Structures are given as C-alpha cells and as structure tokens.
A and B are shown apart, each in its own frame.
Chain A
Amino acid sequence: MQTPWITMDYWLDGWIVVIAILASVSAAILGNFLVLRRLSLLSDAISHSILPGLAAAYLLTANRYSWTALIGAIAVGLITVWLTELIGQYGRVDEGASTGIVFTGLFALGLIMIVQAADRVDLDPNCVLFGDIELSPLDSIVTSIGVIPRSAIVLTVCLLLNTLFVVLLFRLLRIATFDPQLATSLGVSPRVLHYALATLVAITSVCSFEAVGNVLVVTMFIVPPTIAFLLVNRLPMMILASVGVAALAAVVGHLSAVAVPLMFGYKSTSTAAMISVVSGIFLALAILFNVKTGVMVQAFRRNQLAWSILRQDILALLFRDSERGQAARSLRDITTTLLSQSWITAMALRGLVWRGYVTRVNDQTSSQASSSSNSTVGYTLSNDGRRHAQNLVRSHRLWEQYLATTGTQLDRIHAQAETLEHFTNPALRQQLDSETQQPQSDPHGKAIPPEEK
C-alpha cells in the first residue's frame, strides 16, 4: 500500500492554475452583466450552441485553434440570441423556453457533426462538457519569453478583450443594465449592447472551451458575480470582487482537485469540476453569512434582538420590584413572571451579571425565599443596572401616558408600551415627555422616574 502524497509539478500545475485563473476571470467580468440583466442562462445557451460552429471549423481546418473556429462560434452565438428573440416573440413562450429550444437544437447538431468529425480530429464528446484543463499545458508553443501553453495565450487575449469592453463601455453598460428605458431615451440601444455582450460570451466560451468545457464555464460566468452581488453594494466593487472570487476559486479548485481525492486514496480529479464545486461552496457560504442578507446573519440578528428584549424585561422587572421595596428575586420567579424558559432566563441573567447590571445575592436576603426552596441565589440590580432599568421603565410609562392621550383604550396601552419601550432612545423619550406635558405619573397612577444619564 502506497502512502498518498501530494505531488506537484511546478511547471504543469503552475500553468494549470494560471489557465484556470485566466478562464475564470474572463468569464466573471462579463458574468456581472449577465447576472444583473437576468441573462444568466444566456451563458448556458451560448456555451452549448457554439458547438456546431466549432465542429464546422474542425471539419474545415482539422485544427483546434483557428480563426475559423472563433468566427464560427461567434456566428452561432449571435444566431442563438436572434433565434431566441424570434421564438419568444412569435411562439408566445418565455425566454427560458425559447432559449431551451435553440440551444438544445444547436448542441444536438454540433454533437452529430463532432461524431462525423471524430475520424479526422481527435475530439471526445465528453471533453466538450468539462474540458481537459490538465492536458492544456502540454499544447504549448515556444516564444521569446519561454514555453507558454497555447490556451494561456488565447485566454490572455480574451481577458484583455473583455476587460477593455467593460472598462471602456462601463457607463453604457451600467445604465443599460440598470435602466434600459433611460438608456434608450439617451440614445443608447440596449439591444446593440445585448448582442455585443452575446458576442463576447461566445468568444469567452470558445477560448475557455478546451480548458473547462461548456457546462462548467457556466459556473465561471455566473457564480463569482453572484457571490460579489451578495457581498458589495456598488457595480465597480462588484466587478472587482467577482474577479477576486473567481481567481480564488480557481486556485482553491485546483488544490482541492489534487488534494481531496488523495484523502480517499485516489489520484487527482478534474480541476475544472473542482473549481465549480469550490465556487458552489463559496456561494453557499455567501448566501448564509454575507453581511447584507445572509440567512444566518439575519437569524443571528433576530436572535440578538430577542435576547436583548429579554434582558431588558428582566431589568424592568427587577426595577419594579425595588420600587415596591422588594430586594431580590430568584431565577424561578423571574422565569414564571416573564413566561420564559428557565435555561433561557438563566442565560440572559448570566449576560446581565457579566455586564454588571445585576448582582447575585444570597438567598437569605431575598424576601421570596419561601417560594423557591431549592434555589439559593437571588438577583438584584446594581447601580448601573438601576440607571438602565429606570430609563426603560420611564420609556414604558411615558408611552402609556402618550397612548392614553391619543385615546387608546386603557386596557391595551400596557401591551403596546411593553413592545415600544425596547425601541425608545433618549431623544424619543424627550419628545414623548414634552408631548405629554412632563407628567409625573402614568395613567395607572405609577410615578414616572426621572431620566438617568
């Protein structure tokens, strides 16, 4: 049994990573606009339908890289967009369906052509789907600065082209993506930009075809921009972030393609496929934990709010106790009064003690000793806690007074004030105070305590 060991050939693996980064970044730059214009599936459609264009070029030139392939792919890409529009218009089907018809038809045609071409060109239909990035460094040419894989050169040109397009036409793209109507009224045709974008998507798909194939390139178009969309708030930042994410996914993707199968005793797996998986994991993390809309972040915030409300309720309860001259309360007492659960209350109390708002006192000083036989500790407000609690109770009673003056029924003001007290800052208390003519007591006759700094 041989011990699994990560072996890296720096020339080979280095170029694989470079090619992966170039392909991912080229696609991600354009992908921003696809995602924002809700054209994500256009990348899927075009990357599939360029196949007949490529196959025709293979049949004509028996060469994988040729201008014919590029022109063929661009032509078929534009035909895809045009046919999709046409079918959507006259067939009364939505864009998804018309896309589905066009790209499956063209892809099927391409497949049949490839099977016919297989005699003359070495092309495996499976490679069409996920490429062969591991072999692409082997097809290299000697230049003045060293031996460089052909794909790396092609993809660099593609990356430059896409970058130029986005940088030069940034304002046009931004306005046509955000507000096509305004763009039209300013004399910019969103349709022309749509076709330009489709052309570049076709070019990028062709250039990265050998490396990543036509299904996995969809990940590269869509996923990094979507992650960026979740993370940042402005379009220039989104483009930069998508580039960063794309590059990171490429590097991590290749590393995990080598490392992960080793853990199970196999040799490395497809880098392109692992880039796709890693991007998917990044996206899942972004969906769950991004600051803006993250599912977990929001759950955490809701949780935080619930905890803070419970803590404030405890403080107010202890303050009212002290008004009645009662010194401390036991955990069980607090739990039953606030209709909470014992462990939750205990956690909240621990938080309050940690903040120094509440102090633990021995049971003997508690006047409620008889009610709780097994709890030996009581809780009482510290000075800090008292100031805090006083303001809370002040908010509560001011609200009650205010609600009473607005004509709310007396039996309902307590419940409403109970919610509102948690969202009342000093400025609002000041305003409530003056609106209700600085009352001394609330409608129930309880004294409104003065404001504490």
Chain B
Amino acid sequence: MMSVGILFGMLFGIHWESLSFHLLGIAMLLESEAVESFTPLTFDYNTQVVVVGTSLLGFAGGAIGVLLLLRKRALIGDAIAHATLPGLALAFFVATALQIDGKSLWVLLPGAAITGLIGAMTVVAIRTFSPIKEDAAMGIVLSVFFGAGIAMMRIIQQMPDGYAAGLEGFIFGKTASMRFQDAWLIAVSGATIIGLLVLFRRQVELMCFDESLARTQGWPVTLVDIGLMAATTTIVIVGLQAVGMILIIAMLVIPAAAARFWTWRLWPTIATSSFIGCIGAASGAIISTMAPRVPSGAAIVIVLVILFSFSALFGRKNGTVWRWARRYQQRRETDQQHLLRSIYEWLELKGSKPHDFGQTRSESFLLNDLEFVRNWSPLRLARTANRFQRDGLLLQLSQNRWALTATGIQQCVRAIRQHRLLELYFAQIANLSPEAIDRGADYSEHALNDQMLAELERDIAGASIGYAVPDSLHPIGNVQSLNHQSRNEANP
C-alpha cells in the first residue's frame, strides 16, 4: 500500500508537476499509515487483509475506469461482470467432474475470466457483424450470459456438495470469505495493471485523446484496446469476491466520473480517480466488517456515491456549488453595470450628466425614476442600490433620493463609455442596425478589458474621441420597448 503510493508519487510527481498529485501522494501515505498503525488496535488480522485488498482493488479500478470512461466504454465492465457467472458455474461443474475442489479460487476465477472475455468479445462481434447498436449488444450479453449462469447455478444447488459452494457470494460480494492469498492476488493484479499503464502511458494517452491520430501514426490501437479489455476483465474478476458482479461496475465508473470534477488533465484524473476508488473501497470494506449484514459491495458503492456527490458539489472544475457561485457573481456584476448605466442615462436625460473630474457628488435622482430606463422591479432596484451604498458608490440622501459618490461617478462613466464604444463598433464595423445594438453591447461589454477598450477607441473614433463619453446612438428609454418583444427573457 505505502510502497505503491510512494512509487506512484515518484513516477508521476516529477513528470507532471501537479499539486493534486503531491496531495494524493501525501494522502495515500497517511491513509496507508492509518491502516498499518491503527488497525491492529481495532481490527483483527482478517479485517486488515480485507481492507488492504479492497483498497488496492479500488486503486486499480479507479485508474482503469478513467480510460474506459474516456473511451466511452464504461458499461462494458458491467457486461463482463455479468458474463462471469456462467464461467464460475462451468468451472465448478468441470472441477467437480474431475474430482478437484470446485470451490478453489484457482478453479473458479479462470473460468470467470474466460466467459467474461467471451462476453466482451461477443459485444464487439455483435456490433461488427450485425446492424445491432452497441447499447443493445451490451444489454443482450449482460442479461443472456447472466441468465445462463443462473440456470446453471440452480442445478449446482441440487448437487450434493453444491449448496455450500458459496458461489452466491460472488454475486453480491462477501468480504468475510476473503483470505490472505486473495488480497495478495488483488495486489499482484493491481500492481501489474498500474505497471503496464505506466509503461504504455504514451499509447494510452494518445488513444484516449485522439484515436484517429493514433491510428494514422501507426500505434496499435486495437492492441491497446484489447489490453484495456483484459485489464478490465482482471479488475472485475479479482473484485468479484469483494464487491460482487452486480456492483463491481461502480468501482470502475464512479471514481472516474468523480475525478472529472477535480481536474481535466489525463494523469491527474487517473490519480484522483485511483485515490477516490481507494478511499471508497477501504471505507466500504470497514463498514461492512462492522455491520456484517450489509453486503460489502453495497457498502462500497454507497461510500463511492457519497464521494461522487461531494465531488459533484464541491469539485474545483464545474462543481455545482462553484457553478452557482459563478453565476451569482456574474449576475451581480451585470446588475451593477446595468444600474450604473441607467443612472447615467437618466441624469443625461435630465440634462445633468455627471462628470468624471472635479465633481464630488452627482445630481440627485429618484430611484423609481430609473424604472423608466431599465424595467427592473422596485425590489431589485432597491437591493442593488443598497449594495452600492455599502460599496461606497451611491449615497442615500433621503427615503427615495440618491446620488452618485465620486467613486460612483468614476465607475459610472467608465461603464457607459465602454457600452457606447461597443455600440459604435457594432454600428460602424459590424454592420448592425442601431435598434439591435443595445442588447449586443449589453452582452459582451462585461468582458472588455483595458487593452480591448483601447483598440476599440482606436478603431472607431481615432484620437478625436479623447476620454469623452460618446452620445447614445438610440433614444434612451427604449430598452423597455425592446425587452417586451423578447419571448425568452433570460439573463445571460
């Protein structure tokens, strides 16, 4: 556990200097320390084995899951998992016929692997040789193979020593039956997969990014794809005991999808996904040992779903909370600009437009007069105005009478100047009719920076404009008449 963490940290930390990676390395060390130093006090030896084994499984599953997700093959893992059931049953039949112990993992897992791979190949074959689409092919393989498995299991249950075969344990997962060599098996398989991934990182990267480029450059895309399928099958097989065939797909899909909320780059995604898979699997295993009636697969999936939800809410990239915060911020900024402009336009209309120099306070105005230039509700106007007062842009003189402060005048002039310059640009260069201009300018001015403003000045008015505010191109107050036309009024 610890060594894998260090190895991973060393391999990737140097190449891809990403913060999340170092964090990952540290977190992994901490976690493995926790397992190794604290568990003897609380957990018995068998539990330790289970926890270490499942967390390794989560680690490798998370890594492979990202690749499956990027290849848009996430659910092939589900088809493979269900297709292992007839393999388990057949292996048991064959072993019993040959008078070998049919419950040995060394008999059952190869059987599961064979039908699992056959299932994956059947999906590909159906897609290639018939007009059946991929989703149907996966559903078919998944349910038909599973049906065959169930039919055989029912017969096994009738065999004299079959009832105790414990093959049902593979369906929902039964960590209690996990032994030391099982954890060892998972560790070896996981390490092999991670090692191969590191070895073929370039091929994998190119294949996930641009398959056609990879093909034209002569990369063996099909071979890498087959490798990916083999790795997926391996994860599924070694995970059968811990998670069970119904829910093993969660270990491939959920960590990978959760990682997408934290980073957009390939290797950090793989690292984050492995980390999430590791934590989820370990905690799920611990829960299921403490509450023995809870199937371990279900416990792991529930923890993974919680981690996913957390990522979807708070993930740095596109997390819901951040998205909402951003939208709120945008709306605030837009509102601010709109109100400042409205004040200017109203004062201009009254013949007392504020000046950027010398004036410490603008002429006063009634807040509800602004409704004439911008059809906002009185509540929204009042709320924005109150915020401006806190920010020192507006001054409340009496109940309904307000004035701009010096800072307010400055901001106000800047906002209106930007807006009108852009209007001029659209009218002169982008060839739009004047009545359409206002909304176009509305839409984009909030993204103008100083350099672009300077370019606009140069392009439109040359030096003649100086720092003055250009006159409006359209009669002020017609915003309302434009607005009532639009059916789908939505604030961008």
Residues of A in contact with B (beta carbons under 8 Å apart): 35, 38-41, 43-44, 48, 87, 90-94, 96-101, 104-105, 107-109, 111-112, 115, 125-126, 129-130, 215-219, 221-223, 226, 229-230, 257, 261, 264, 266-267, 269-270, 272-277, 279-280, 283, 287, 293, 295
Give complex CA distance A107, B304 in Å.
Answer: 13
Give 28 pairs: A residue, B residue, CB < 8 Å, sorted on A. A40-B135, A44-B78, A92-B318, A94-B69, A96-B135, A101-B305, A104-B247, A104-B254, A107-B247, A108-B305, A111-B298, A112-B298, A112-B299, A129-B246, A217-B143, A219-B140, A222-B139, A223-B144, A229-B131, A230-B132, A270-B150, A272-B147, A273-B154, A277-B147, A277-B151, A279-B144, A280-B140, A287-B126
In the complex, chain A residues whose CB is within 8 Å of the CB of B293: 115
Instruction: Determine the residue in chain A with the shortest Cβ distance to B317.
Output: A92
Residue of A48, A99, A108, A275 ringed by the most chain B CB atoms within 10 A: A108
* 5 tightest Cβ-Cβ pairs between the two chains A and B: A276-B147, A280-B144, A108-B301, A273-B150, A104-B250
Smallest beta-carbon distance A106→chain B, Å: 9
Contacts of A38 in B (CB 8 A): 133, 135-136
User: Are A266 and B151 also in contact (CB < 8 A) when A108-B305, A125-B295 are?
Assistant: no
Question: Is the CB of B249 closer than 8 A to any CB of chain A?
Answer: yes
Assuming A90-B312, A216-B143, what are 8 further A-B pairs, CB within 8 angstroms? Answer: A97-B69, A100-B253, A101-B257, A105-B304, A111-B295, A126-B171, A223-B140, A266-B158
Closest beta carbon of chain B to A271's beta carbon, Å: 9
Assess the B126–A269 pair: CB atoms within 8 A.
no
* Pair count A-B, CB < 8 A: 211
In the bound complex, how far is the Cα of B151 from the Cα of A166, in angstroms? 33
Pick from B74, B154, B158: contact of A97, CB below 8 A: B74
- Among A112, A129, A215, A257, find the residue whose CB has the most chain B CB atoms closer than 10 A: A215
On whether the beta carbons of A130 and B256 are closer than 8 Å, the reply is no
CB-CB under 8 A from B318, the residues of chain A are 90-92
Q: Contacting B75 at CB < 8 Å: which of A96, A226, A230?
A: A96
Question: Is B297 on the interface with A (CB-CB < 8 A)?
Answer: yes
Considering the complex, which residues of chain B in the window 296-320 have a beta carbon less than 8 Å from any beta carbon of chain A? 297-302, 304-305, 308, 312, 318, 320
Query: What residues of B have a CB within 8 angstroms of the CB of A101 in the complex?
Result: 250, 253-254, 257, 305, 308
User: Which residues of B181-214 are within 8 A (CB) of A?
Assistant: none
Which residues does chain B contribute within 8 Å of A130, judged by CB atoms?
Answer: 146-147, 150
Q: A230-B131, A266-B155 are in contact. Are A100 and B74 (CB under 8 A)?
A: yes
The reply to whether A267 and B158 contact each other, CB–CB distance below 8 Å, is yes
Considering the chains assembled together, what is the distance between the CA atoms of A266 and B151 in angstroms?
Answer: 12
Contacts of A41 in B (CB 8 A): 75, 135, 138-139
Judged by a CB distance under 8 angstroms, whether B148 is at the interface is yes
B16 within 8 A of A: no
Enumerate chain A residues within 8 angstroms of B261, measured Cβ to Cβ.
91
Query: Closest residue to B303 on the A side, CB-wise?
Result: A108
Q: Decide if B461 is an interface residue (CB 8 Å cutoff).
A: no
Closest B residue to A94 by beta carbon equals: B72
Residues of B within 8 A of A107 (CB): 246-247, 298, 301
Chain A residues near B74: list those with CB within 8 A.
Answer: 93-94, 96-97, 100
**Residue of A104, A269, A287 with highest tally of chain B CB at under 10 A:** A104
Assess the B250–A293 pair: CB atoms within 8 A.
no
Q: Given A105-B301, A112-B294: A226 and B132 within 8 A (CB)? A: yes
Q: How far is the CB of A88 from chain B (nearest CB, A)?
A: 10
**A91, B301: Cβ atoms closer than 8 Å:** no
B249 interface neighbour in A104, A216, A279, Cβ under 8 Å: A104
A400 to B301, CA, bound (A): 72
How near does chain A come to B407, taking the closest CB pair, in angstroms? 38
Does B168 reach chain A (CB closer than 8 Å)? yes
Asked if B142 lies at the interface with its beta carbon under 8 angstroms from chain A, I say yes
Q: Determine if A276 and B143 form an interchain contact, defined as CB atoms under 8 angstroms apart.
A: yes
Residue B420 is within 8 A (CB to CB) of chain A in the complex: no
B341 sits at the interface (CB 8 A): no
In Å, the complex CA distance between A245 and B301 comes to 37
Are B139 and A218 touching (Cβ within 8 A)? yes
The verdict on A229 contacting B132 (CB below 8 Å), with A92-B318, A125-B172, A283-B140 known, is yes
Pairwise interchain contact B140-A93, C-beta atoms closer than 8 A? no
Q: Which residues of B contact A274 (CB under 8 A)?
A: 147, 151
Tell me whether B130 and A280 are in contact (CB under 8 A).
Answer: no
Chain A nearest Cβ from B173, distance in angstroms: 10
Q: Bound complex: CA of A44 vs CA of B308, how far in Å?
A: 21
The residue of chain B having its C-beta at the shortest distance from the C-beta of A283 within the complex is B140
The residue among B145, B147, B249, B294 with the most chain A CB atoms within 10 A of its own CB is: B147
CA A218 – CA B141 in complex, angstroms? Answer: 10
Q: Digitize B107-135: 1 where CB-to-A-CB distance is under 8 Å, 0 elsewhere.
A: 00000000000000000001001111101
User: For B295, what are the chain A residues with a Cβ–Cβ distance below 8 Å?
Assistant: 111-112, 115, 125
Shortest CB-to-CB span from B299 to chain A, Å, is: 8
Query: Contact: B302 with A215, CB < 8 Å?
Result: no
Contact of A40 among B82, B136, B172, B247 (CB under 8 A): B136
A115 closest partner in B (C-beta): B293
The reply to whether A287 and B130 form a contact with Cβ atoms under 8 Å apart is yes
Q: Across the two chains, which residue of chain B brings its CB closest to A97?
A: B74
